Structure 1
Amino acid sequence: MSREEGLQRRYSRLEEALEIKSLRRIISAYINYADAAEEDVKRYERSFRKLSREHKGLLSHLPLKFQRFRRCISANSFFIMNMLQAFDPPFDMSQDIDFDGHSDIGRFSNGHLCTHASHHMQDYSAYVKGSVPESIDIASGPELSSCSGSCDQTPSNRNNEKQEISSESSCSLVMNMNTPNGNTNLIDESMDKVKLICNLDASLHDSTPNGNVRCIIRNIVRDWAVEGQKERDQCYKPILEELNRLFPDRCKERPPSCLVPGAGLGRLALEISCLGFVSQGNEFSYYMMICSSFILNQTEAANQWIIYPWIHGNCNSLSDDDQFRPISFPDIQPASAGITEGFSMCGGDFIEVYNDMDQEGAWDAVVTCFFLDTAHNIVEYIEIISKVLKDGGVWINLGPLLYHFADSCAPEEEMSIEISLEDAKKVALQYGFEIEMEKIIETTYTANPRSMMQNHYYAAFWTMKKKPRT
């Protein structure tokens, strides 16, 4: 083995170790959801006990409300554990990991597909016939394939044979979770099994932040519940109408291709597929990927699941019933939605996955929705979008510029380029784009429609076309 090969092999081992570390933290966060929520309820109870007898009498219903919290938390945990038992990680999660000789691992972010080798493809083409194929085991994990170095399913080669990850090297958490009333003993037992199989230690479990899990629960409403339809109409509907206008002569034999970076839980990418495009969603967050994989790949019926997404905010509630209202999802069965063959989800960093020669000029359209401001360097995002589009291809964007890394307590070497909308459009012009349409759309994001407080965005919405090279 040459020195270069040895270094590459060592680097690959480090990358895999970092991925396992990151994924363990995320699984821990999901498992820790109920415990973290229980701590909130205990805090409410401590505050109630400090009231005077007279004041307790005026709020005598609160102890029952606290028990109601616990029932809702249990129901949310029931969904989370079903989701985890179906997840089939692309690594052997039981292995010990060693970071000896790599003192700089702390700079890698947690909660994301953080390394060059971590591009995982999930193809949903099997569902194009409108029903779950008999050969797919709903209790098993989703079918994943590895995309080393780049995402191998460009529109031109999407039928290429992909390398399968063997079941021997994955953490397939197959457990029966038939407890619609949220049986806490069964949920606790399942959590213990997940911890054992994935080699989760107590210190990691205790230190994992839980806010991301609650964010995912709210995103489920936005993408997959009837209650999220208003937001989808505000954000997704204009994009779909624009695609329909720009590609009026779509045909099943040669459908146009559309890339959706920052696909989140996958609804927009699915809707674009149903419109008659070869659609590929790209997502960086394991939190999102685990949940979207479950909804897209494991759903047997519409409204199969029930969660209580609004229980974690006591502020600005009109009533307890509003706060405790159940949300059923998904509002459609993805398998019966009428997707176009070639629909897929690719996990990994947008820049690392698509800044590849195989992706150059590969896509007819790129759709970005609430995505541009997730960049460390928005200029690089725009550069890659231009690179992957064909000449004459279109870029449809909708979203604000709430830069995710602005004012963050990050290491000094972490970059955050924060420019105005005007500057962002000027940069796009330098990369060969011309503006065909632009306007402002007012919208919310994962908002509770019955809350007394509503945050509204005035989001930029544009269509740009990539000029042919001269």
Structure 2
Amino acid sequence: MSNDNNNKSAAAAVEDDDEEAIIRRKKYEESLEIQSLRRIISAYINYPEAAEEDVKRYERSFRRLPVAHKALLAHLPLKYQKLRRCITKNSNFIFDMLQAFEPPFDMSQDDEMCEHGDNSSCVHHHSDDRDPCCEPVSISGRAPSAQCSEACGGHEEKKENCCEPKSGSFPEGLECQTNTHKGGCDNAIDVSVDSDTDPNKDISCAPPESPDRLDSMPHFHVPLVDVDKVRCVIRNIVRDWAAEGQKERDQCYKPILEELKRHFPNRSEDSPPSCLVPGAGLGRLALEISCLGFKSQGNEFSYYMMICSSFILNQTQAIGEWTIHPWIHSNCNSLSDADQLRPVSIPDILPASAGITEGFSMCGGDFVEVYGDPAQVGAWDAIVTCFFLDTAHNIVEYIEIISKILKDGGVWINLGPLLYHFADMYGQEDEMSVELSLEDVKRITLHYGFELELEKTIETTYTTNPRSMMQNHYFSAFWTMRKKPLVAASIESMDE
């Protein structure tokens, strides 16, 4: 009897140790997520200071010009003043967005797990145990929660960056320089400026400071590459939520929407077909699919994107409610200063009045982790991937999961290039990247039970400034594939 008791005690001790290890692991993972979220919020808050440093750099270059050259370019100081006002407009949008954001974690307490004593490394404890993944999009509700990520949704990272920091080009410890000038601009919003500005005069002024309402959000200075992701989001807003992005949406989204209508002509309001949109970005395509009568869910890995999409979807009260200046951060390939500084009104539609189908949702998290769950097997009538497949570390894994979660007879519609996002991660030996040709990709899809029904090439752009002298175009692969029933796929496999 004594041995039995000892064995039970030992087993109980092992279970307690395992439970404690699970709790510690959970707290560690939560702390990493909060650390990532703090860094992302910090990148947004640091945007005006980083943008101001750019303008100061332009001014320093101007002051170094010979007097005769300054005379030829006497309009540039006025342009720099206007740039600051554009930065103010962008910052106002960002601060409104952050004010509306409700983090899924308690970010007001110091984290006892912080080991290094460096503020930029500290994280905070999770405030509750609810699932931070999927929540329905409530047009008037709170921001949907999302798992943290630092990735910007990126098919633009290799283009139009000749005058901006490229992703990964800065060492991890590089921080934005703090602007210490506190004078401010009295007429920061007014775009009218006196025409007799002295071209030799230092006209620098501080960017807008973050409002008091953001003081409770813990933030710190971040690498410049993080702030560049904020600029990336601003350009993506044009693609998804501005009239100026309509041409690009027609190139990319319209063929997908037409295919969905063709394959699901009889959509029932009582039982709408389900459609998943991985890599949903700022949510416009997922919303358009919902408006067609689908139970649509967008999935997005980037918290940069999720914060912004939630704000536009949930907080918009009127068409054209906000004004941004998306093109101000690139001085290259501009036809005119007016083109570079031009305002863009957003959004071009009112999401609350768009006619979405009940059940429209946005889900934050890594596609593999969220949809690799066994509960997702055979859950979707349609899957739409737009500029998504090449975001994979392992594209075969993406295809395998798409096959598993699609119903037999379900439809997979894809559009996009193969600009593998992790292909150029030099110096990171553990950063996996499998880069396949389009021919190999299609061969893999056949292996996982797909049958090609439609295939063509569509010329597209991605967050391109339509008035830029440089236009990057993709000859994107577009296809519709159907998942063959398991029995038919097995018979074909045996025949082979």
Question: What's the TM-score, normalizing by structure 1?
Answer: 0.83
1:199 corresponds in structure 2 to 218
1:415 corresponds in structure 2 to 432
In the alignment, the residues of structure 2 paired with residue 418 and residue 118 of structure 1 have an alpha-carbon distance, to the nearest angstrom, of 33
Q: CA deviation at 1:142?
A: 2.3
Counterpart check, 1:78 vs 2:92: yes
Gaps of 5+ in 1: 111-116, 147-178
Structure 1 pair 101–187 and aligned structure 2 pair: CA distance change class (3 A): closer
- The one-letter amino acid paired with 2:410 is G
Matched position secondary structure for 1:402: coil
Q: CA deviation at 1:94?
A: 1.7
Counterpart check, 1:456 vs 2:473: yes
Matched position secondary structure for 2:99: helix
In the alignment, the residues of structure 2 paired with residue 143 and residue 291 of structure 1 have an alpha-carbon distance, to the nearest angstrom, of 11
Q: Deviations over 1:135-186 (max 9, x none)?
A: x5xxxx425499xxxxxxxxxxxxxxxxxxxxxxxxxxxxxxxx99499999
1:5 corresponds in structure 2 to 19
Counterpart check, 1:238 vs 2:255: yes
2:75 aligned to 61, 64, 74, which one? 61
2:395 corresponds in structure 1 to 378
1:120 corresponds in structure 2 to 133
In the alignment, the residues of structure 2 paired with residue 248 and residue 373 of structure 1 have an alpha-carbon distance, to the nearest angstrom, of 30
Q: CA deviation at 1:260?
A: 0.3
Give the 5 Å matches for 1:383-394. Answer: 383-394=400-411
- The one-letter amino acid paired with 2:63 is R
Counterpart check, 1:283 vs 2:300: yes
Q: Deviations over 1:331-371 (max 9, x none)?
A: 00000000000000000000000011110000000000000
Give the 5 Å matches for 1:155-304. Answer: 181=189, 188-190=209-211, 193-194=213-214, 196-201=215-220, 204-205=221-222, 209-304=226-321
In the alignment, the residues of structure 1 paired with residue 449 and residue 395 of structure 2 have an alpha-carbon distance, to the nearest angstrom, of 16
- The one-letter amino acid paired with 1:199 is P
2:161 corresponds in structure 1 to none
2:44 corresponds in structure 1 to 30
Q: Deviations over 1:366-404 (max 9, x none)?
A: 000000000000000000000100000010000000000
Gaps of 5+ in 2: 1-14, 124-129, 148-186, 192-204, 488-496
Matched position secondary structure for 1:281: strand
In the alignment, the residues of structure 2 paired with residue 207 and residue 445 of structure 1 have an alpha-carbon distance, to the nearest angstrom, of 23
Moved more, 205-214 or 285-294: 205-214
Question: 1:77, 1:182 within 8 Å by CA — same for their partners in 2?
Answer: no
Question: 1:74, 1:182 within 8 Å by CA — same for their partners in 2?
Answer: no
In the alignment, the residues of structure 2 paired with residue 436 and residue 206 of structure 1 have an alpha-carbon distance, to the nearest angstrom, of 46
Matched position secondary structure for 1:322: helix
Q: CA RMSD for the aligned pairs?
A: 2.5
Q: Deviations over 1:31-65 (max 9, x none)?
A: 11111111111111011111111111111111101
In the alignment, the residues of structure 2 paired with residue 297 and residue 332 of structure 1 have an alpha-carbon distance, to the nearest angstrom, of 13
In the alignment, the residues of structure 2 paired with residue 185 and residue 373 of structure 1 have an alpha-carbon distance, to the nearest angstrom, of 40
In the alignment, the residues of structure 2 paired with residue 34 and residue 186 of structure 1 have an alpha-carbon distance, to the nearest angstrom, of 5
Q: Deviations over 1:398-421 (max 9, x none)?
A: 000000000213531221000000
Structure 1 pair 182–280 and aligned structure 2 pair: CA distance change class (3 A): farther
Q: CA deviation at 1:80?
A: 0.2
In the alignment, the residues of structure 1 paired with residue 68 and residue 322 of structure 2 have an alpha-carbon distance, to the nearest angstrom, of 41
Matched position secondary structure for 1:423: helix
2:325 aligned to 281, 300, 308, which one? 308
Question: 1:436, 1:465 within 8 Å by CA — same for their partners in 2?
Answer: yes
Count of aligned pairs between the two proteins: 411
Question: 1:262, 1:371 within 8 Å by CA — same for their partners in 2?
Answer: yes
Q: CA deviation at 1:97?
A: 2.7
1:94 corresponds in structure 2 to 108
Larger Cα-atom Rg: 2
- The one-letter amino acid paired with 1:17 is S
Q: Deviations over 1:417-453 (max 9, x none)?
A: 0000000010010000010000000000000000001
Question: 2:273, 2:381 within 8 Å by CA — same for their partners in 1?
Answer: yes
Moved over 3 A (4+): 98-102, 143-146, 179-187, 204-208
In the alignment, the residues of structure 2 paired with residue 292 and residue 387 of structure 1 have an alpha-carbon distance, to the nearest angstrom, of 28
Question: What's the TM-score, normalizing by structure 2?
Answer: 0.79
Q: CA deviation at 1:209?
A: 2.6
